[in-house]
Each structure stands twice: as C-alpha cells, then as structure tokens.
Chains A and B, each alone.
Chain A
Amino acid sequence: MKLTTMTIAAVMAASPVMADLVFPSLSYRTGPYAANGIPFADGYEDYFTLLNERDGGIGGVPARVIECETGYNTEKGVECYEATKGEGALIYQPLSTGITYQLIPKVTADGIPMHTMGYGRTSAKNGEVFSNVFNYPANYWDGASHAINHIQSLGDISGKKIALVYHNSAYGKEPIRTLEELSKKHDFELMLVPVDHPGQEQKSQWLQIRREKPDNVIMYGWGVMNQVAIQEAANIRYPMENFIGIWWSGSENDVLPAGDKANGYKALTFHNVGDDYPIFDDLRKYVVDAGKAAGAGDQVGTALYNRGMYAAMLAAEATKTAQSIHGVSDITPAMMRDGMEALEITEAKMAEIGLPGFGPEFKVSCENHGGNGLGAVAQWDASASEWKLITGFEGSDQEVVQKLIEEDSAAFAAESGIEAGCS
C-alpha cells in the first residue's frame, strides 16, 4: 500500500503532463543574422521567464519556451515548426519573412496562430483572408509610408530622388510596390538598389549611390547587411540624417560598428526605445540577477531586446484574453487565435504591465489583423550611444496601403481558393 502511494507520488512528481502554455521561439543565434536574432530571442524568452518567476505563469499556468535554431534558413524553420507543433505550440513568431511565407499555409491548415510583428506578409492584415496570421501593430507598407512621410515633413519631396537599398528577398521586396505607388502620388523618383544575401559585400551598391546621389536612402536590411550598409554610407560620406532604415535596420548592433560616423542615422520604430520603464526593474530582479536570463544576458534594454519582449508581452496579453473568453487557463491554439483576434492593448494595460507609453494603443478584429500602423522615427546619438525618438507615433498613408492590402490579399485568396469573410 505504502509502496503504491509512493510510486504514484513519484510518478505524479516526475510526469510532465502538468499543464503548460507552450511558446516556441524559432530563433537564430548563429549565422549572418545572429547579431539581430540574439537580442530578440533573449527578450522573448526573458519576458516569459519573468512571468513564470514573478506571477507563476499566465493565469496560473506556467509558460514554457521551446527554443529552436533556424539560422534564418527556411528549411530549418520548417523543421523547427514540425518538431515543435506537436508540443501544443500556441503561437509562432518566426522573425523571418521567408519562414513566414512557408508557414502561412501550414499554420492555417494546422489551426495554429502566427504573429509576424512588423514583418511577414503585409496583406495578412486582412484577417478575412488570413484567418490565422496576425501582423499587428504595424507592417512593412506602413513603414515605407512612414519613411516617405518623414522625408516629406522635412521639405518638399516632389522631384527628389529616393533610393531603396533592400535585402534581395521576399522581405526586402515587400515595400517596392508601396513605394512605387507613393512615388506616383508624390512625384518623386524611386531608385532600387538590391543587396543579395547575406549582404557582406556592398561596394558596388554604394558606388552606385555615390554616383547617382539620391536625396534620401531608405534601407530594408537585416543582419550583417545593416552594419555593412551603414559603414559603407559613412565611407562615401553620405549624410546620415538622410539615411532612414526600417525598424529591422535600427538596432544598436547595426550602428555601433561604424562608431561616431553613424551619428544621425535614422530608423523607424513601432514601439518606444530605451530601458526607462518599470518592467526593467522586475526583469533585473527576477530574471537577470537571478541568473535566469536567456543567452548572455547582456542585451537588456537594447532596441531588439525590447522588441522581443514586446512580442512576448503581446503574446501573453493575447493568452490572457483567450483565457478570459473561454474560461479555461490551459488554452489550445484555436483559443489562442480567438484571443489574438479579440486583443485590445490600452494605455492602462501597458501601464499595469510596467510599460507605460511603450507602444501604440490598438484593437484587433477579424477585419483588421494589423493594428493601426503607427510608427515613429528614432535617431542614433553616437556620443550617448542611444536611440532617441525625434517624432511622435504617427499614422501611415492608409489610402495607399489599404488599397494594396486589399489587392494583394484578394490575389492570395483567389490563388489558394480561400473564401474571404469573417465567421
């Protein structure tokens, strides 16, 4: 009798069937994109560690992060997806547009939601077509529009020549159509300068820029490409204040190698910068000082760490929403999807989390999986080694963006035989 009880107790203690919420982290800590992949992955994991340590999980259920190395490679990304989806994965955030394109049909077939925050397929904003894909709070086309708006706010844009330096992949090609529409609308000349993966060699591209002298350069770069581009821009003495990167080209790791010469470089962002928020005290107390930080623990407060944490925060909030909708704490991926579709981020909520004013307020609905598309411009201050917001969070040209989203999502629906509509 005693033995039986002991056995049962032992089995109970050892058995892993305890309810948990699984958040796979398809990260990349190796390869040419590691410099950007590491801070994001650290931030993502640390936030869930904080919730587990401080609050005992989300709604009383501990969160479990399964990390899987993709190396920004689509084949490995698919392998990671297949390897982790059986564990009850609630949400995928691959941090790669290439992997996103692979996973959109797969997650839709498997009924698992995917959140591509500020990347991925832009037209996924149309939730009537992309039922399981979310890209709130902003997308690539918003970014292109923000950059043009910012240039416009500094002076008349018509007749100017604007170069787009982009990663020659699905990611970098995303904004081209928007910029073409905008160039027609505002009458500026668009010059396309592709950079092939991984982007370590950009001499010819910057020679071209030096020769053609565009008034502004917009960059859609990632990984090692960012550092090289900023260094090359400094080498040809391109005025940094005319050089604007998308939010993926705006981390500390991108500008630091160029030193003082990177001073004045601008990058877009859809959330705030810096570590002057109450949540960082908790993060230091419960995670970093307790020795539970992911990776080396040296990235806290950097732009991409914050973004990873913000992504985790949105996932956790969606989990809470799902728990309250369905009245269960151990939710399924389908419930998670409902939670994401009903997600509402308010100032009060962010203040409660410890991130007051960190990101925009938005509300997700079936028609709009993409939020409001607000963005701001940050500028690098090399002497203080920090990013500073130089504008407020402003909207994008929805007239252009929304039309393109409808066009592209309708094309996707026709191509893959999806009946658009909200259930």
Chain B
Amino acid sequence: MFYREAGDFSTTYPQDSQTFPIKFDRYRYYVVLAVAFGIIPFIINDYWANAVMVPFLIYAIAAIGLNILTGYCGQVSLGTGAFMAVGAYSCYKLMTAFPEISMLIHIPLAGLVTAAVVTLFGLPSLRIKGFYLAVATLAAQFFLVWLFNKVPWFYNYSASGQISAPERSVFGIIITGPNTEAWAKYLICLVFVTICAIIARNLTRGSVGRRWMAIRDMDIAAEIIGVNPMSAKLTAFMVSGFFVGISGALFFAVYLGAAEVGESFGIDKSFLVLFMIIIGGLGSIFGSFAGAAFMVLLPVFLKNVLVGGLGWPTDLAAHLQLVIVGGLIVAFLIVEPHGLAQLWRLAKEKLRLWPFPH
C-alpha cells in the first residue's frame, strides 16, 4: 500500500539512479539517520555505548569491508582479524608519532596503510582461488599477529607489549581515552560508519562493483567480456582493506582503549566477522549491518535475559549462549543461506503486493 513504485516518477537521470528509488525506502533511510544522529546521542549511556552501539557500529564497518571482498568479489578471506590489527597498530603509531594531527586524519590514514598491506596479501589471489586463497589469508592472519608481537617498534617498546590509546580530541571533544563521553564515542563511530556505508554502497552499484560481481560469478567469463581480473581483484582487496583498517583503528582507539594483538585480533575475530557476513547476507550492505547487529546483540541479550532476568549461574548461561548462537548459525545456513538480507528482500517483495497479493 505504502511500499510501491507506482506514482513515484523519475524525471531526471540522477533521480532514476538514486540509491533508494522507492519513496518509502528513502524516507525510512532518512528516519534511521535522524534517529541515529538526532536522538540516540542524547539518550545513550555508558553501558549502551560500550556494550552495544559502539561494537555494533565498528563491526558493521569490518563486515562491510569483508563483504566487499568475499560477498561482492568472491575472494574468501580469513585474515580479517589481523587486517584489523594493521589498522589498530598503524593508528597507534600515527597517533603517538603525530599527536597534533587530528584523529579524523589518522583513522583514514590507518585505513590506507591497511589497504596497502591487504593488497600485498591479495597478490596470491591472482594465482590461487577458493580454499587455497583462504589458506593464504590464514597465513596472513598468523604472520601479522606474530609480527606485532615480535617487533617491539610496533608497540613503542612498552614492557607489556600492549598498545594503549592516549587521549585525543576532535574539535575540542575528547574521542579517545577513558574520559570520553558515551555520546562522543558513539558519534565518531557513527560518522565513520555512515561515510563508509555510503562509499561502499555507491562503489558496489557502479562499474567497479559490477566488475567485482562479474569476477565472483565466473572469473573466466568476466575476463572474456573484458574485465581485467588483476585490477578487479586487487581493487577489491584494497577497498576491503581500507574499511577493515578503519574498523580496526576505531576498535582499538575508541572502543577498547588498550589492545593486545593476540587476544583482540586473533583468529576468532576473523571468524566472527565472517559469521557476520554469512548470517547477514553475502553481497549486501544491509546484510553487513544486520549480521553485525545479530552477532553483537545476541550474546548481550542472552546474557541479560539468562543471568539478569532468570538469575541463572553465569557459567551455565555462558555455555548455553554458545549453544544458542551456534544453533542459530546452523539453522540460518539451512533455512536461509542468503542470510538476513534475503529475509529483508522477501519482506519487501511481500510489502509491494500487500494488501492485495494475487
């Protein structure tokens, strides 16, 4: 009834090629932005920021990054955790070496450094595919973690091998360090998420994204129709690395404040982000958000219900939580292999016909 193309006429080309061609979608998008920017910062508290919103936003960026590589370009990566570490460590080195330069410059710079590193590790993808590429990125995961542990220069020779974010501010508002207000943390992440999502969305709709998808669907056919596999694959690694690097930088500087590479950026992190895009939906920006929300919110929700609500022992709840999350992942893969994004797509299809399905 409300959700339909009918009556929504495009009179110019920009109107025709806009991100959300359906009016209802467009307004929904504006409402989400208005709530996210205009209402949540005023009501958010420490717990909601640190336990829910900030990790959700940061993982959403990482999931977008991995989705570009795996979902759009079809190159499996198990090195996301280590690539986030590259972002975190380059951000740390930059923010301690140039304290006077704004974090708004350091974080994208950390993204660029990560993009370069990821492109380097993407080079084998020109020769190897599928499982073999996964193993090559797995090697990157272990190599980078080992490197950050081994070379003291990366952690400024601190005795514990930890990196900790000093206090930095943007326009006079503290955004890193312990004195950060909850809303400042949330907003800085939100700004980066919004920009990243808009860039990713437009890249995937454009010629670059179409080249990625051509490579994903069948690389030989893509090459025959004139897609250069080298540039397509390497741009995917580069763009993916940029987003993952930004998420790593925010993860360390804004969310954790102090990090240790083996624990914060280990192989579990790579799998966590991979689960996010599988559950959320491969090849979908919305899916990246949905997957990140699912994987961040579900454990917190279950913990609050089981321990806080029902008063169960913490160990029982923690074990049950693993069972439930694992079970849901399996259930999703069986019932809806295309993830939450596909459910959303189906819902939209149904909405177009509602209330008169025929």
Residue numbers of A with Cβ under 8 A of B are 27, 29-30, 34, 38, 67-69, 71, 73-75, 78-79, 82-83, 85-86, 97-98, 101-102, 105-106, 108-109, 121, 168-170, 173-174, 176-177, 194, 196-197, 295, 408, 415-417
Contacts and interface: CB of A to CB of B under 8 A. Distances in A.
Contact of B260 (A74, A85, A174): A74
Given A74-B256, A168-B262, A79 B300 contact: yes
Tell me what chain A mostly uses at the interface: helix, strand, loop, or mixed. helix
Interface stretch (B27-35, B113-121, B155-163): B155-163
Contact of A79 (B50, B160, B162, B262): B50
Contact of B258 (A102, A108, A168, A177): A102
10 contacts: A67-B314, A69-B307, A86-B47, A101-B160, A102-B257, A105-B164, A106-B178, A177-B159, A408-B159, A416-B167
A169 B177 contact: no
Nearest to B46: A82
Given A27-B314, A82-B50, A105 B178 contact: yes
B138 interface: no
Contact of B256 (A68, A75, A177, A417): A75
Contacts of B266: 197
B314 A170 contact: no
Contacts of B50: 78-79, 82
B263 A174 contact: no
Contact of A98 (B149, B159, B179, B260): B260
B152 to A, nearest CB: 10
B331 to A, nearest CB: 23
A168 B260 CA distance: 10
Given A102-B257, A416-B166, A69 B315 contact: yes
Nearest to B160: A170
Given A30-B315, A74-B263, A121-B160, 20 more contacts: A69-B303, A69-B314, A75-B55, A78-B256, A79-B50, A82-B50, A82-B51, A83-B51, A85-B46, A98-B162, A101-B164, A101-B258, A102-B258, A105-B257, A169-B161, A169-B260, A169-B262, A170-B160, A170-B162, A176-B159
Interface in B263-306: 263-264, 266, 300, 303
B254 interface: no
Interface residues of B, number: 34
Nearest to B251: A75
Nearest to B258: A101
Given A29-B318, A173-B159, A173-B160, A102 B47 contact: no
B358 interface: no
Interface string B90-120: 0000000000000000000000000000000
B76 interface: no
B51 A197 contact: no
Nearest to B316: A29
Nearest to A73: B263
Contacts of B162: 98, 101, 170
A119 B257 CA distance: 20
Interface string B172-209: 00000111000000000000000000000000000000
Nearest to A25: B314
A212 to B, nearest CB: 19
A78 B55 CA distance: 12
Contacts of B317: 69
B182 to A, nearest CB: 9
Contacts of B345: none
In the complex, the 9 A-B pairs of residues with the closest C-beta atoms, listed nearest first: A29-B315, A105-B178, A170-B160, A69-B314, A109-B178, A79-B51, A30-B318, A69-B318, A82-B47
Given A68-B314, A79-B300, A82-B46, A170 B260 contact: yes
Interface string B308-344: 0000011101110000000000000000000000000
Given A29-B314, A69-B315, A197 B262 contact: yes
A415 B159 contact: no
A74 B314 CA distance: 17
Interface in B41-61: 46-47, 50-51, 55
Contact of B263 (A27, A69, A169): A169
Contacts of B258: 101-102, 105
A174 B160 contact: yes
Given A30-B318, A74-B260, A105-B178, A174 B55 contact: no
A415 B166 CA distance: 7
Contacts of B149: 168, 194
A21 B71 CA distance: 51
A82 B185 CA distance: 14
B47 A109 contact: no
B125 to A, nearest CB: 27
B177 to A, nearest CB: 7
Nearest to B178: A105
A30 B313 CA distance: 12
Contacts of A105: 164, 177-178, 257-258
Contacts of B313: 29, 67
A233 to B, nearest CB: 23
A170 B161 contact: yes
A253 to B, nearest CB: 15
Contacts of A416: 166-167, 177
Contacts of B263: 73-74, 98, 169, 197
Contact of B161 (A108, A173, A415): A173
Contacts of A169: 161, 260, 262-263
A50 to B, nearest CB: 19
Nearest to B264: A74
Nearest to A122: B159
Nearest to B266: A197
A30 to B, nearest CB: 4
Contacts of B161: 169-170, 173
A71 B318 contact: yes
A75 B299 CA distance: 12
Given A29-B315, A106-B178, A174 B262 contact: no
A109 B256 contact: no
Contacts of B177: 105, 416
Interface string B237-263: 000000000000000000011111011
Contacts of B164: 101, 105, 415
Best-buried of A71, A79, A174, A408 by chain B (most CB within 10 Å): A79
Contacts of A176: 159
B52 to A, nearest CB: 9
B168 to A, nearest CB: 12
A173 to B, nearest CB: 5
Nearest to B158: A411
